[in-house]
Chain A
Amino acid sequence: MAAVSLRDVHKSYTPELKVIHGVSMEIEDGEFIVILGPSGCGKSTLLRMVAGLETISAGEIAIGERVVNDLEPKDRDIAMVFQNYALYPHMSVYDNMAYGLRIRGLSREEISVRVKKAADILELGDFLKRKPRALSGGQRQRVAMGRAIVREPQVFLFDEPLSNLDAKLRVQMRGELQALHRRLGTTSLFVTHDQVEAMTLAQRMIVINAGRAEQIGAPLEVYAKPATTFVAGFLGSPPMNLIPREGKLLGIRPEHLEPCAASDALLTIDVDLIEPLGADTVVYGHVGDSESVRVAARLPAHALTREGKLALRYDAANVHWYDPQSGRRIDT
């Protein structure tokens, strides 16, 4: 296990085409870090640079004490789980897991011990002789993780490993990933565009937008105090409302809005959409005319059944302020 440092890492394919604009982060030994961002933001590229599958245009990446910029992936002591699993189709589950170990010249007995151990952890014992195509999506996913585990690497790299699974399986694998990390304690970098995965898995997360790190921090901290309007608008479902007020942007999360008497209203919206979700109801509406900002509010389950004017109030403690030009948070 090892710490990972990203020091002002840049990536450009051509002088004009830059995809990562200087990302710095210190990842502690054993930490589970989620790299979160919309598609095309460069998060996978960042991970692949750590893996050694992409070159580093400028800056430094260190795993442990070693700067790995010029090392081949195999020499970086990492293991990677790919989005489509990238299992070798013609090899059995056992061989898929054993392949990397054979190349490293481990003895037959050692390989067998390690594969059996990983298979036990992942409950793959019954499938060792099967080919990947005879496995379900969840089982393939587990084989891909098994292939990473047997190498006993310093760092695990996950590239959207859950995005090909159906919703139910995803929740289950999320739990298994967490349990696995508790058990092995290996430093992990996990790329995803799914904020639920990020919130539930991460010890710390790094939110990337257009090749820049918008915010680094623990999930709840990032959720409670988004550093920029991008983070505010990306995390949360529906995301934070951003309403222009006095030349600034007032940010308020939908769950912090509550209905009130018209006389106490801090905000009145014209509700045009009601989405009952069972546990609660999300209502949407405009603050002023239909050109103005749209606001979402998360209300108790049966709070509102009809469209029309709705008076809302909020607690001043839950308000965030942002600079409309830079998008940065203004702390008062």
Chain B
Amino acid sequence: MVENRPWLTVFSHAVLIIGAITIAFPLYVTFVASTLTLEQIMQVPMQLWPGDQLIANYTQVLTGGSTTGSKAAVSSMLVNSLVIALVIPLGKMAISVISAFAIVYFRFPLRMFFFWMIFVTLMLPVEVRIIPTFKVIADLGMLNTYAGLTVPLIASATATFLFRQFFMTIPDELAEAARVDGASPMRFFWDIVLPLSKTIMAALFVIQFIYGWNQYLWPLLITTDESMYTTVIGIKRMIVGSDAANEWNLIMATAILAMLPPALVVMLMQKWFVKGLVETEK
């Protein structure tokens, strides 16, 4: 804004500061709680500066989980979450990029029909088809397996659609130049299309990593074995009953641990992520 209106500046700053506090304060409380003993948390009001239990609490959850609720070690949950959060985006991209390539660059019978079929599944997220999907996964004996946790979440119309839109912006001449150069369709895919899609793939990876990491309902349904818990489910399983019965310090430590990897991924890939959303390298 070029206008110089002091009250507007004060107002907009106030809104921003309140907004930032609203987001940041709960996070801070979570962190502080994860460094206290359970007794300290139960005091009213709870102290708002970090305590001395940081190492003790985190070691406890990483190796042994909570003592009253789930006793599964959070470290193995982190591994499970990581596996899922990696398999889902990679699987999604692998499938969508090829199907989008087929839809954009090949003329085959019923091409648009297949495109719309993929597109229509946008209307059917996991939650809507959860019962039939659970039945299928259960019948296939895939409960408590990585395959069961990831496969139903991999098929993705969103990613296919995004890739399709991106491929349609690649000039036709590029495909023709590659044809004249003697590149077969798959060679064109590997040498030209994939490298050009790098930024959009990075953006998709970030989005889908967080999607995979934050999965709650589906893992909750199909994991009964402690060794297959994801971190998010781990938090849920640590909460066992009444407020006083829960070890909030350990739960908060787990929550902090669950927040770190997505935050890290976003921070590390931020540059690529923004590039993929706003810029096309053509």
Contacts and interface: CB of A to CB of B under 8 A. Distances in A.
- B interface SS class: helix
Given A53-B176, A89-B281, A103 B171 contact: no
B171 A86 contact: yes
B179 A86 contact: no
The list of the 4 closest CB pairs from A to B, nearest first, reads A74-B182, A100-B181, A86-B173, A86-B177
B179 A103 contact: no
Which of B174, B187, B195, B281 counts the most A-chain CB atoms under 10 A from its CB?
B174
Interface string B187-198: 100011001101
B1 interface: no
B173 A84 contact: yes
B180 interface: yes
Nearest to B282: A89
Interface in A86-130: 86-90, 99-100, 103-104
A280 interface: no
Interface residue range, chain B:
10 to 19
Which of A74, A78, A83, A133 counts the most B-chain CB atoms under 10 A from its CB?
A74
B183 interface: yes
Nearest to A85: B173
Given A73-B179, A82-B177, A88-B178, 11 more contacts: A53-B179, A73-B176, A74-B180, A80-B180, A83-B173, A86-B176, A88-B192, A99-B191, A103-B182, A103-B183, A147-B181
Nearest to A74: B182
A83 B181 CA distance: 16
Nearest to A99: B181
Contacts of B180: 51-53, 73-74, 78-80, 100
Which of B171, B182, B187 counts the most A-chain CB atoms under 10 A from its CB?
B182
Interface string A225-251: 000000000000000000000000000
Interface string B132-169: 00000000000000000000000000000000000000
Interface string A61-85: 0000000000011100011101110
Contacts of B187: 103
